Amino acid sequence: MIAYVLRRIVQSVLVMLVVALVSFSLFRFVGDPVATMMGQEASQADREALRDRLGLNDPVIVQFAGYIARAASGDFGISYRLQQPVMELILSRLPATLELALISGTLAFVFGVGLGVYTALNRRGWLSGTIMTVSLVGVSLPTFLIGVLLIWVFAVELQWLPSFGRGETVDVGPWRTGLLTPSGRASIVLPAITLGLYQMTLIMRLVRAEMLEVLRTDYIKFARARGLSDRAVNFGHALKNTLVPVITITGLQLGSIIAFAIITETVFQWPGVGALFINSVQFVDIPVMAAYLMLIALIFVVINLVVDLLYYAVDPRLRLDRAAARH
Amino acid sequence: MTHPFSRTAARRVATSLMLSAAMLGAGLTAAQAETLRWARVGDALTLDPHSANEGPTSTLLHHIYETLVRRDTDGSLKPRLATEWFIHPDDPTVWVFRLREGVTFHDGAAFTAEDVVASITRVTSETSDFKGLHTAVAGAEAIDDYTVHIKMSGPSPLYVQNLTNFFVMDKGWIEANGVETPQDFKAGEEKFTVRNTNGTGPYTLVSRDPEVRTVLAANPGHWDAAPAVTEIVYTPIKEAATRVAALLSGEVDFVQDVPVQDIERLSNTAGISVTTGAENRTIFFAYDMTSDSLKSVPGDNPFKNPQVREAMALALDRDAIRQVVMRGQSVPGGQNVPPFVNGHDPALDAYSAPDYDAAKALMTEAGYADGFSVDLHCPNDRYINDEAICQAYVGMLGRIGIKANLVSQSRTIHFPAIQNGEVDFYLLGWGVPTFDSQYVFDFLVHSPADGRGGWNGSRYNNPEIDAKIESLATETDLAKRDATIAEIWQTLQQDRVFLMVHNQLLAYAAKDNVEIAVHPENQPSMTTVTFK
């Protein structure tokens, strides 16, 4: 078990290094940070001097090695754009993104499972038909458009919810939360729906398909034959058996929700790491881009590692195979 | 001027109203009129006054720090921390500034000549982003508490025009916090000045969450009349649709960057008014006029031929671009300099209607009856509808046989390519912060040498013009200087160095009761806002 974990951790570090190297070789195609860092009056010599000071004239591999060495000692540099330490910037934005991801993930899971069960049980109902049709819209409309439509209806026309920002926030230790104030809670509704809509339809369709499958199996027929109530059959037996793949998918999707909140954050001016990243790309803020990509890589690596370890713990066959191989 | 509320009470009311407005999207009430919620596309990058020579940063800092002189909405210079300025009668290389008395910094320190000297030292230091505007400065000296002499390396008759974004800091505060130089990225540590301020300005910093919200409150100790806006809540909103929605839903009072496609709809919306005005920025095409071969299609350089340049000018339908691409939000012109800048000439700015037959005849005469191919480089994230302007012109050039292949890229790739001379034919915008043509000549016309010609992608190289441009820098006889400027423009127009398209217009949208004038540098001051 320990050897397995160690091996996985070494692999994860390698993945992170590769991500860093790939992103470093890509940065040169994003543009020249000096072009945005200096005003139009700066002379060619001034630009060259700044480029030198930033080490941008060094070969990519030298820049990469220097970056890794500094990153290993916890120094991720100063943002070219906001002139603040990169780690501090990212850590101050991370709570906003995590709260949004968590709320939208929860919404997606609860409504996805609920609607999935409902449409599976009432396959021919008109409401199920409507839900299935509407869910197609959720899958096919781009996030950007959904966000703008929601803003138009709920912020401009009905004026129920704010159109941008995070509302009032409260600092709980290092964590800046918007969930403890009324304006903060109102502010998270539209972005959470926008971000979670796709995941919700995905989960709903998955649950529905799995339920339909399970409902045809023999043990459900036997359960009904035993005279169990519909409720016990549907939720105690059928739903329980559909949830294994659903939980796996939801867990993996959480990573993508965090990583791909970029568009939602931009539309709603949500002060999270995604919006920070997109602004950094436009400014060619290399220190922030590098740290963000490393962070996303880390999140995916950790999620995958946890999933792998869970499988190892849950699935006895994995352990048996290895035990057998050793003999 | 008196206020219906004390400042704290007003702020308390404003805060609670802001909360309820955020929850309910409630409409405007009378009490809220003291707070102005201001949204624009981007945030100030830093609060350090000498570290980022960038529009939104300077605009915000003008509320906290002050300059010796300021640019009024009509483009003229007005006194601010300096009450008087002139070239020393006995020494043409010395600028004399008489300073305003009785001014204090936000921390209570008195403003004196020593503060100006310390700020000049700071703004000319190696890591300053404004040092390019102060290259002629040799040193500054405090003569008495309220007189400063700025010594130049030679006569610099227009140096004062470079001071509209020169913010003055307190000498004692600089020393106490060890911030003698602006942010150095290599040093890897954040300067105190990035988040902390101590200016003499009309507003003090209350709180700042970068890219989320910056709150400023009126400075009760300010030397000038108290402004109508007692609190500013500044929120960047990047996405155009969201920015407009926030104004329509009543969550912000003033939107500075209004997308052109929304101007008409917003002005037709009850409760919202849109103000437009000329911006100090021209949009133009330029081409490599001197190289023997194009870079994108090697072999020949058609732009060397004056007839080709004339044909290209005849093919440019400026009015069509104004109507279709800009939705009326531009002022087409023929001279590559904004109307309020010294050296602008209405006769040169007149432009002719397109004439495709004449243009084709010229192309044939020039030996390009079958046209030619070239890459047209264009930014896609810098100017209003920049890429669409290029697309429109590609179509127009196609009518006279020129096959322009549009390469549209981010400004972070486009600008270095121009500076490094990697492009043949490109679109560029140019603002003139000094309000004098010399700024255009120095950067765009002079052949690259000694810090001049950094943006001369036309590779225009005319020793006679170079000499004239150099003479402008030191000529103290302003009438003679203006005559030289006119001569230079005549030559540039004859040689067709630029293919001018238009001047950009700025559009500000605000609630009906908010009155704000468009600033040509796009640096509106909230002290000028009045409520109806």
Instruction: Give the model confidence (pLDDT) of A316-327 as tens digits.
Output: 666 655 555 554
How confident is the model over B402-419, as a mean pLDDT? 91
Does the pLDDT at position B468 exceed 70?
yes
Secondary structure E strands in B310-371: 330-332
- What pLDDT is recorded for position B314? 96
Nearest C-alpha neighbor of B371 from the set B345, B396, B401: B401
Q: Give percent of chain A with pLDDT exceeding 90.
A: 28
Q: Where are the domains of chain A?
A: 14-72, 93-326
> Nearest C-alpha of chain B: how many angstroms from A268?
7
Nearest C-alpha neighbor of A273 from the set A251, A257, A252, A284: A257
Are A80 and B185 an interchain contact pair (Cβ–Cβ within 8 Å)? yes
Q: Does A161 touch chain B (CB under 8 A)?
A: yes
pLDDT category at B3 given cuts 50, 70, 90 is: very low
* CA B245 to each of CA A220, A319, B20, B39: distance values in angstroms, whole numbers, following the listed order: 52, 57, 17, 11
Per-residue pLDDT tens digits for A142-191:
888 999 999 999 999 999 999 999 988 888 888 889 899 999 999 999 99
Secondary structure E strands in B366-471: 372-379, 402-409, 425-430
Q: A93-326 architecture in CATH?
A: Orthogonal Bundle (1.10)
> Alpha-carbon distance B518 to B261, whole Å?
19
Which chain A positions have a beta carbon within 8 Å of B129's beta carbon?
Answer: 37-39, 42
**Total CB pairs under 8 A between chain A and B:** 175
Residues 235-294 of A with CB under 8 A from B: 266-269, 271, 275-276, 279, 282-284
Does the pLDDT at position B61 exceed 70?
yes
Does the pLDDT at position B529 exceed 50?
yes
Are B412 and A30 an interchain contact pair (Cβ–Cβ within 8 Å)? yes
- What pLDDT is recorded for position B22? 42
Among the partner residues B45, B235, B411, nearest to A165 by beta-carbon distance = B235
**Which residue of A58, A90, A164 to mutate against B (max B Cβ within 10 Å)?**
A164
Which chain A positions have a beta carbon within 8 Å of B447's beta carbon?
Answer: none
ipTM: 0.85
Are B381 and A186 an interchain contact pair (Cβ–Cβ within 8 Å)? no
Q: Give percent of chain B with pLDDT exceeding 90.
A: 76
Are A164 and B246 an interchain contact pair (Cβ–Cβ within 8 Å)? yes
pTM flag (> 0.90): no
Residue-averaged pLDDT of chain B: 90
Q: Does A194 touch chain B (CB under 8 A)?
A: no
Per-residue pLDDT tens digits for A277-318:
999 998 889 999 999 988 888 888 888 788 777 777 766 666
Which chain A positions have a beta carbon within 8 Å of B195's beta carbon?
Answer: 84
- What pLDDT is recorded for position A319? 63
Does the pLDDT at position B451 exceed 80?
no
The residue with tokens 């300059």 is B67
Per-residue pLDDT tens digits for B274-303:
999 989 999 999 999 999 999 999 889 999
Per-residue pLDDT tens digits for B46-60:
999 998 888 899 999
> Alpha-carbon distance A259 to A273, whole Å?
9
Are B26 and A159 an interchain contact pair (Cβ–Cβ within 8 Å)? yes
Per-residue pLDDT tens digits for B87-134:
999 999 999 999 999 999 999 999 999 999 999 999 999 888 898 889
* CA A204 to each of CA A133, A210, A212, A272, B477: distance values in angstroms, whole numbers, following the listed order: 12, 10, 12, 27, 79
Are A82 and B24 an interchain contact pair (Cβ–Cβ within 8 Å)? no
- What pLDDT is recorded for position B134? 92
Give A136 or A28, the one with higher predicted confidence.
A136
Q: A60-64 long-range contacts, Cβ below 8 Å, gap at least 24?
A: A60/A24, A60/A25, A60/A28, A63/A24, A64/A20, A64/A21, A64/A24
pLDDT category at A99 given cuts 50, 70, 90 is: very high
> Nearest C-alpha of chain B: how many angstroms from A181?
10
State the CB neighbour count (10 A cutoff) for residue B463: 8
- What pLDDT is recorded for position A139? 81
Choice among A79-83, A320-324, B227-231, B253-257 with the minimum mean pLDDT: A320-324
- What pLDDT is recorded for position B358? 96
